[in-house]
Amino acid sequence: MRAFLIIGLTLFGLTGIAVHAQTGSGQIERQTTGTILDRLMTSGEMTYQVKLQDGQTVTVGDNESVSTAAGRSFFPGDRVVVTVYRDIDGLTRYLLADHARGDALLWVVGLFLVAIWWFTRSRGLRSLVSLGVSLVMLILWVVPSIANGSNPVVITLIGASLILAITLLWTEGLTRMTAAALGGTVGAMMVTGFLSAWAISFTKLSGLGSEEAFALGSIGLSRSIDLSGLLLAGILVGILGVLDDVAVAQAATVAELRHANPTLTNRALYQAAMRVGRSHLVAIINTLALAYAGTALPLLVLFRLSDQPFGMIVSSELVATEIVRTVLGSIGLLLAVPLTTILAVILQVRPHSSASHSHA
C-alpha cells in the first residue's frame, strides 16, 4: 500500500519540488515528456536532443551535479521528463528532470495483476477493487485534506476506518467475522494513535525525519501542515494493511474453532484462538520490522560508513523516526489480536448442546 501511495503522489506532482531545486534560479513553466534522440558535448557540457511529446525537438541541458549524485545517466532512446522554465534573462530553457517511468511502471503493475489473477482468480480481483477504493480514498480525500491544513490524525483515522469497512465488506461480506475484524482493527488503530502521539511527543520528533517531510516543511509552513501529526498519520497508514490481515485471520480462526468444536466455552475458545494468534504475530512483527529496515537500508549504510558514535546515530531524527514507527506498528499488531479475538468470541454464538442439559 505504501509503495502504491508513493507512486500516486508522485504522479500528482510532488516531483516539482525536486525540479525546483534543479533549476536553481528561474521560473518553472511546465513539465513534459520526450525521447532522447542524441547527446552531444557542447562547450564542455553534456546536452541532449530531445523530441518532446508535442513533436518539437529541443536542446536540453542536464544538471550534472544532480544526475551524478542521484546515479542517473541518460542515453538515446530513453524516455525522459523535461522541465521547461525561463531563466533570469527571460529566455526559455529546457532541463532534464528525470527518467519517464510511466510505461515501465505499467509493465510492472501489469505483471502484478496477472500474478493475482493466476493465483487467486475472482477473489483476487475483489481485492484489487478494494485496493483501488483505498487509493482513491487516500489520494483524492485524505491527502488533499492534510495538504489543506486539516488535522492529519483525525483525517487519517476517519479515512482508514472507511477504507477498512469498505474493504472488509467487499471482500468478506457482512458476517460476524467481518464485524469482529473491523472492530478489532479500528480499536487497535485508535489505541496505536494515542500511543504514537505520546511517543512522538516524548521523543521530541518533529516529523522532519525524511527528505520528503523536509520538503513539505519548506513549502507547507504557509498552509500550516502539522508535520508531527503527519508522521503519526503515516504510522497508522503503514500498519493498516497488516492490521487488516491479522484481524481477519484471527476472526476466521475463532469461527473455525467454534465450528470444529461447538462445545468449547468462550474462555477455552479465546485461549485456543490466542495460541494460534501468537504464532501468527511472531512472523508478522518480524515481517513489519524487516519492511521498515528495508526502506531505511541506504540510511543504515550511510551511518555505518560514518564515524559517528552508535548512540548519536540511534538518537538522530532519521533513525529515531524509524524506531518509533516500527515499535508503534508492532504494538498495534499486538493489540489487534486480543481485541479481535474477544469480539469474535462474543459474536460467535455458542449453540446449546444436549450435553449441556444432561446435568440438569
Q: Name the grid cell of 229.
A: 501529526
Angle between helices 152-172 and 227-260 (to 10 degrees): 30
pLDDT at 223: 56
Mean pLDDT of 27-36: 86
Cα Rg of the chain, angstroms: 26
Please give the pLDDT value at position 220.
Answer: 52
357 HSE (CA, 13 A, CB side): 4
Nearest to 36 by CA among 99, 92, 107: 99
Write the class of the CATH domain 2-100: mainly beta
Residues of the chain with CATH 1.20.1640: 121-350
Dist CA 153 CA 258 (whole Å): 37
Would you state the pLDDT for residue 40? Answer: 84
Residue 340: the pLDDT is 93
Q: What are the E-state strand segments in the chain?
A: 27-42, 45-52, 57-61, 79-86, 92-99
Q: In whole angstroms, give the CA distance from residue 206 to residue 214.
A: 10
pLDDT 10s digits, 139-192:
888 888 887 878 888 888 898 888 888 888 887 778 888 899 999 999 999 898
Q: What percent of the chain has pLDDT over 70?
A: 82
Residue 63 is predicted with a pLDDT of 60
Whether the pLDDT of residue 48 is over 80: the answer is yes
CATH topology of domain 121-350: Multidrug efflux transporter AcrB transmembrane fold (1.20.1640)
First and final CA of the chain: distance in angstroms? 55
Q: What is the model's pLDDT at position 219?
A: 59
* Residue 129 pLDDT class (50, 70, 90 cuts): confident
Taking 80 as the threshold, does the pLDDT of residue 359 lie above it?
no
